[in-house]
Amino acid sequence: MTNEEIDKAIAEYCGWKYEFNGNDEAPEWYWIPPNNPDGNGTPPDYCNDLNAMRNVVNLLVSVKDQNSYISNIAEVCWSDFERKDNQVVFNQLTATPIQCAEAFLRTIHKWKD
């Protein structure tokens, strides 16, 4: 997935709506923030903002989803099969925003290879 596709999928999961204004004079797509149907704005850059991804991951409230995310982030961060468990955990703790985004989308079944 491209960064744009990743950001869009996460934004939509978080309640952002991507709509077309239908204006013949100046047609354009725009974002409507969650809980603000009259507003517009820009969702966070999830692929590059670790704080935004931490907020998104906190939306996983069920134990099943949390466990799935833990498995997915381990898989995304796994780079060397010779590593010991503590090194794998270190990789998870130091995951980049894009790694967190991929693991999150895999958890909610929105990741496209």
pLDDT of residue 13: 96
Kindly give the pairing relationship between strand 29-32 and strand 17-20. antiparallel
pLDDT of residue 10: 97
d(CA 103, CA 94) in angstroms, rounded, equals: 13
pLDDT of residue 38: 78
Mean pLDDT of 85-99: 84
The 8 Å CB, 24+ separation contacts for 53-61 are 53/97, 53/100, 53/101, 53/104, 54/100, 56/10, 56/13, 56/14, 56/100, 56/101, 56/104, 57/100, 57/104, 59/13, 59/14, 60/104, 60/107
For the stretch 7-64, pLDDT in tens is: 999 999 999 998 887 777 766 888 989 988 777 789 999 999 999 999 999 999 999 9
Mean pLDDT of 75-87: 72
* 79 pLDDT higher than 80: no
